[in-house]
Amino acid sequence: MPVEMSRERFEELVADALDEVPQELLDLMRNVVILVEDESPPGEPELLGLYEGHALTTRGWDYAGVLPDRITIYRNPILRVCDTDDDVVEEVAVTVVHEIAHHFGIDDDRLHELGWG
| 56-110 pLDDT per residue, tens | 888 888 888 889 999 999 999 999 999 999 999 999 999 999 999 999 988 888 8
| 9-45 pLDDT per residue, tens | 999 999 999 999 999 989 999 899 999 999 999 988 8
Residue 2 has pLDDT above 90, yes or no: no
Which pLDDT score, from 0 to 100, does residue 43 have? 85
Of all residues in the chain, what percent carry a pLDDT higher than 90?
67
Taking the C-alpha atoms of residue 40 and residue 22, their distance in angstroms, rounded to an integer, is 27
DSSP letter for each residue of 52-113: ES--GGG--TT--S-PPEEEEEEHHHHHHH-SSHHHHHHHHHHHHHHHHHHHTT--HHHHHH
Taking the C-alpha atoms of residue 82 and residue 87, their distance in angstroms, rounded to an integer, is 5
